[in-house]
Amino acid sequence: MTALRKDPFNLIIAGVGGQGNILASQLVAQAALAEGLNATIGETYGVSQRGGSVMSHVRLTAGTPVGPLIPQGEADLLIGFEPIETLQVAMDFGSPQLRVILNPRPVYPISVLSGDLAYPPMERILDLLRGHAADLSTLPATDIAREAGEIRAMNVVMVGALASAGLLPMDKESYLRVIRDQFRGRAREINQRAFETGYEALPSAHA
Amino acid sequence: MDPLEIDEPGRRVLLMGNEAIARGAIEAGVRYCAAYPGSPSSEILASLARTAPRFGHYAEWSTNEKVALEGACGAAYTGLRAMATMKQNGVNVASDILTAMSLAGNPGGLVLVVCDDPGGISSTNEVDTRNYARLADVPLLEPATFQEAKDMVRWAFSLSEELELICMVRSVTRISHARGVVELGPIEKVARTAVMKPEQRYGSLPPCPNHAEVKDKLRRAAEIYESSPFNRYAGPERPELLVVTCGTGWWYSTEAIRMLGVAERVGVLKLGTTWPLPEALLKRHLEGASSVLVIEESDPVLEYNLKALLSKEALRAAAPSRLLGKVTGTVRGAYGPGVGEMNPNLAADAVARALEIEAPSLPKPLRESMQAEIDFEIPKREVAFCPGCPHRASYWVMKNVLRLDGRDGLLIGDIGCYTLGFGRTGYYLSRTMHCMGSAIGFSSGMAKLAGFGFSQPTIAVVGDSTFFHACLPGLVNARYNRSPFLCVVLDNSATAMTGFQPHPGTGKTALGEEAPRLSIESLCAGMGIPVQIVDPFDVPAATRLLYRALQKNELQVVVMRHKCAVLQGREEGLPARRVWVDAEKCIGEQCGCNRFCSAAFGCPALIWDKEKECAAIDEVICSRCGLCAELCPGGAIRITEEEVQP
Amino acid sequence: MSSRDPVSDASAPAEKGPRELREEVLDRGLCTGCGMCLDLCPYIEEMGENIAFISDCRGDQGRCYAVCPRTPTDLDALRRFTRSDHRSGFLLGPYESVWMARARDEEVRSRAQYGGTVTALALFAIETGRIDAALLTAWSQDPDEPYATMPLVARSRDEVLSASGSKYTAGPTLKALDGILRGDARKVLVVGRPCQVLALRKRMRIEDPTFPGERIALVVGLFCMWSLSYRDFEGMIEPLAGGRRLKRIDVPRGRFIVETDREAFELDHDSVRPHARQACRTCFDFTSELADLSVGSTEWKDDWNTLIVRTGAGRDFLEEAVQKDRIEIEPFPKDRLRLLEEASFNKKKRVLEQLEQQAKTTGMEAYLRLSREEKEFFLSAHGPGSEE
């Protein structure tokens, strides 16, 4: 059976409604399941279809399935689709061992657009994550997705990056098989391409 | 292949909790399923509707939860297995029939699945519907895992048939809206002909003998529960602390024991059958346990019931010296005991306190070390109308109309997507937000107060699905009693908040079949209420129409009709056009003294380009609705019809 | 406190803005409905002659405040700016001469409220190419609002004629001004109520002389004692007119007569007056004192107007219109002038007393800033026509 670096392995995907957070968490969980692991996903999303905070807890284990919520300070890996969402999830669930892969493109909250509050300086966000987590990689996943032909496939680009980071035991092929199972036609093509580009886009992780 | 359709017992699949519940019903050979959508319950009926062609059961979106339960009840009277599903608020609507029909029983298996929302993550309250089990005298089951969600629902049907009594299964958000691995079971092939025989009669009169009969049924249920596999103990033979738990409390309890490393000291008795309580089982486990800690989601329902049970003469000897829980303040909550959602950390805190572990060595979240370095405010991400949402346009119009009217007019709202009218992108316009259709009732009352000095005009705002769900009696009342207010129906052609389920106005059923399209305007006209229709995206026309309507002191309905942008996008894709800001024309901070579009309108896609000092549009978020182009006073937001990358 | 009024002095920046406009004017019911602020700002809109901020603007200063006829107003500074003559004293504001006047054109007179002078002036200006358009107030064409008015940008004889006749609610006509000037009209003539003339002058004074200043060829001000609240007006008219379009309203000496396409009916004048806009009760000016030419009824001969020439521009224009036989004038009888002055005096005195009283009770300074001399003229004297 596939062995995890840590069991249970706790992954969080943090973003905003509409970014495809839930699909990303399912891709990881299905790939894990295909390799004989148990997966539990706990999703936290509010009342809005688009634009609210969304957080998916993905918990992988070789043993009995665990609950859908990760305890505070026990996340091992954080996939960030949005910087301030990522920062806040890191603060609540991260430990000094946390690894972060972040798409540093902001989705501005309404309070910022209205001029009531300022979006924090990006460098400060990155510095904080860099300084307190074990590792931070950033990836311009939205731009990569645009080049892959679908700007909204950013989530799959990020899953590609996660798959290449060497933190999870699943084979690249397992993820691709899930994509092939879940999509048809153009969507399949685009998601495969998004995954592949994301997979190649995180150079530091291949070292 | 749809995992719900796999007929391969033993196969392990990843299912959402709500899909597991649906699968349980499928495996039990359910024939009739009805629901009204509501988070976190909606996916159950959606899954059953999706799989109906394969398994031949019937599934419908009913107009409200009472009708859904009554429909299921009707099916159960004919001997079929039937199920109604709803969120916690829905049980309040269905409670009238629930508390009545339980007295007379039912021959076919009848299951009510309720998905509670502790913490009110997607609700206006966090009501614990387990209290209804006691109120209505019905057996209650509480799954703790995805597997149990499936297995318990399946079992609930046979239990219901054995008792001839409706059974209630209570899920919560962390099961319904979570996913995990479920091992599939065999699918029961139930061939029954629906018939109601001449001798079958169901009425709750006279209530008292009936009430006595249902109490007997409950006693039998408790006997059956004694040997239920859903109740189990894990831990040392003589634990220092016995945790009694149910539902997600079990997950958090076991996680807490792992986190604290106290597996040798603490045992866990997990109950799946929580009303009525299995006495003998509890007696067995409680005897000799000096400390008992109850960990459960929401209200201390199990805790109270346990306390009540232990006050019985026969069980007094088994009563522990310490019975801890929410009542004793041992189990805390984010906002106090019993308030807000449970989680592993709260459970660990409670176990540590029960064991009197001074300072449990739990991992410290980064917040503690980071906080000192954070010299900026992290903007909160408020819930907002989606980009392109017609309700944003409608609220923009209603805000402008109320301001222009100048008489401190009130917007009385309730529940649906338009609940967001309570927040920033609805310009904080809604003055009330409680339950479906209540905007009509509130307004109906307020508009009768002229004689007491009340002079503020009232707009009652309801959604299209809400209109059918709970507004008709209120409108009839207002018409009958001549209550003069303006009712605005925000018709986005879907029950959008809960995931775009069809409703009587959409012309589609849950099964995707064509249906008669009920017309809101015809229904109103039938009541003799003047009704007008306007597209909120035509802002000037909508503003004029609503303003004029508000000047009349009579009951009127205005339907603001425009399809939900997300639904539109799903059905037809994004329109082939580009919405963009002409940086040459945009006067930025100078516009109306300060960036009118992003400051005043509040679309998440309408962002600010710091370098160019002008407005910009986030192409990832923009739905290309183009309303901002209409609102921009300088004509700087442009729409170009062209094929753009989706 | 600065000796210069910061708002109406062009060299000083406006220190107040939207918040104060709301607090000091709109929330206190003092908006005159002139419409001047509307086109300056997307945050301000009008409907049914109500003007409101549709969203809260966060700007801390703005033209919206500076141009409002109910924000602090230094009348002498505006008189100097308008280059109108002072010698005539305080009673009717500065003027050169007062005339009986009427249109020569029979058709104009037949459609006019009184002598058709305003219509004739506008037609003359258009037909001689002095202006490209006249900004007038006409009955609304909207079937949903049969009793409302609308701004009319008139460029032809028919259009000018269609705006004939007095209106008795406060149409926010000035909201259309910037639109015309930003469009193809180079020069315009504006016809407005006294509050509108005041707002226009305040605007012209704080802005660049080239815009809108030089583009406004002539300001014709109307006499106005009060305008009705549109909501109240509609409430009074609807049961009688039943949705039929209004043709004409006449207020001959204490009566209030409304004509529709089909019939005429009379409202009790005393029951109509209490429905005047609140802002009208604070109005110091019933003859449009800052206009180039002011026109009103004679309260005497129904087919003539009273015409007051106030500026050089007004005088030149009138002389030519008379010379080209468009306007007929006659000397204004002395005894009639005394009655006019008396009416003006009484209104001014009443308003000043009320403003003083309000300033005392609210602690807020009155919008109107007058010289001590002018103030005392009204507050201490009994007036020119006083019988005592």
Q: What confidence tens digit (pLDDT) does each residue in B99-157 have? A: 999 999 999 999 999 999 999 999 999 999 999 999 999 999 999 999 999 999 999 99
Residues B283 and B431 in one domain: no
What average pLDDT does the structure give for chain A? 93
List chain C residues with CB under 8 Å of B636.
none
- Encode pLDDT of C299-355 as tens digits: 899 999 999 999 999 999 999 999 999 999 999 999 999 999 999 999 999 999 999
Chains touching A, CB cut-off 8 Å, 3+ pairs: B
- Domain ranges within chain A, ordered by starting residue: 9-202
- Name the residue range of residue B629's domain: 574-641
Q: Of B612, B578, B579, nearest to B595 (Cα)? A: B612
Taking the C-alpha atoms of residue B36 and residue B49, their distance in angstroms, rounded to an integer, is: 13
pLDDT digits (tens, 9 = 90+) for A25-47: 999 999 999 999 999 999 988 66
Please tell me which of the candidates B122, B146, B598 has its beta carbon nearest to residue A114: B598
Contact of C312 with C98, CB cutoff 8 Å: no
Rg (CA), chain B: 27
A142 closest CB neighbour out of B121, B371, B620: B620
Q: Kindly report, residue by residue over B591-641, the tens digit of the pLDDT.
A: 766 678 888 888 999 998 888 888 999 999 999 999 999 999 888 999 998
pLDDT (average), residues B372-380: 92
Mapping DSSP onto H, E and C, the string for B375-441 reads: CCCCCCCCCCCCCCCHHHHHHHHHHHHHHHHCCCCEEECCCCHHHHHHCHHHCCCECCCCCCCHHHH
What's the number of CA atoms in the CB half-sphere (13 Å) around residue B449? 13
Residue B7 shares a structural domain with residue B28: yes
Residues 6+ apart with CB under 8 A from C3: none
C-alpha pair distances (Å), C27 with each of A164, C30, C279? 63, 8, 11
| Candidates B405, B544, B633; nearest CB to C50 | B405
**Nearest-neighbour CA in chain A from B318: distance (Å):** 31
Chain B contact residues (CB < 8 Å to C)? 399-401, 403-406, 427, 543-544, 547-548, 551, 591-594, 596, 599-600, 631, 633
* pLDDT at C275 > cutoff 80: yes
What does each C-alpha distance from C234 to B398, C11, C239 come to in angstroms?
22, 43, 9
Residue C363's pLDDT band (boundaries 50, 70, 90)?
confident
B395/B254 same-domain check: no
Token pair recorded at residue B512: 């995707």
Round the average pLDDT of chain B to a whole number and report it.
Answer: 94
Distance separating alpha carbons of residues B342 and B255, to the nearest angstrom: 12
Q: Does B631 touch chain A (CB under 8 A)?
A: no
Strongest mean pLDDT among B183-197, B369-383, B521-535, C7-21:
B521-535
Instruction: List the subunits that have 3+ CB pairs under 8 angstroms with C.
Output: B
B590/B192 Cα distance (integer angstroms) = 73
Whole-Å CA distances, B268 to B143, B241, B249, B298, B527: 15, 9, 10, 19, 59
The yes-or-no verdict on residue C386 having pLDDT over 80 is no
Min distance B595 CA to chain A CA atoms (Å): 9
Q: Which of residues 97-136 of A touch B (CB under 8 A)?
A: 98, 107-115, 117-121, 124, 128, 131-133
Q: Under a CB-based contact definition with an 8 Å cutoff, are residues C69 and C198 in contact?
A: yes
The CATH number of the domain holding residue B312 is: 3.40.50.920
Show residues of chain B in contact with C67, CB under 8 Å: none
Question: ω into residue C333 within 30 of 0, thus cis?
Answer: no
E strands, B197-240, are 232-234
Q: Which range (B286-300, B342-356, C259-273, C313-327) has the least confidence?
A: C259-273
Strands (DSSP E) contained in chain C are 44-47, 50-53, 73-74, 97-103, 133-139, 149-154, 188-192, 216-222, 246-250, 256-260, 264-267, 293-297, 305-309, 327-331, 368-369
Query: Quick one: fold of A9-202?
Result: Pyruvate-ferredoxin Oxidoreductase; domain 3 (3.40.920)
Question: Quick one: what percent of chain B has pLDDT higher than 90?
Answer: 83
Position B529 confidence tier, pLDDT thresholds 50, 70, 90:
very high
**pLDDT tops 70 at residue B192:** yes
Our count of domains for chain B comes to 4
Beta-carbon separation of C59 and B594 below 8 A = yes
Distance CA C245, CA C243 (A): 6
Contact status of B224 with chain A (Cβ, < 8 Å) = no
CA angle B317-B322-B326, nearest 5°? Answer: 125
Dihedral of alpha carbons B451, B456, B457, B463, sign: negative
CB contact under 8 A, A33 and B181: yes
Query: Do residue B141 and residue B278 come from a single domain?
Result: no
pLDDT: is B327 or B642 the higher one? B327
CATH code, B588: 3.30.70.20
Interface contact B122, partner A, CB < 8 A: yes
CATH number at residue B411: 3.40.50.970
B398, B400, B402, B403, best to mutate vs chain C, most C CBs in 10 Å: B403
Which H/E stretch holds residue C203?
Answer: helix C194-206
Question: Is the peptide bond preceding residue C239 cis, with omega within 30 degrees of 0?
Answer: no
Assigned token pair, A137? 């990689």
Contact in structure between B418 and B495 (CB atoms under 8 Å): no
Instruction: Write down which residue in B527, B548, B570 finishes a domain.
Output: B570
B546 and B457 in contact (C-beta within 8 Å)? Answer: no
Q: Is the peptide bond before B516 cis (omega within 30 degrees of 0)?
A: no
Of B462, B461, B458, B359, the closest CA to residue B405 belongs to B458
Q: C1: pLDDT confidence band, cut at 50, 70 and 90?
A: very low
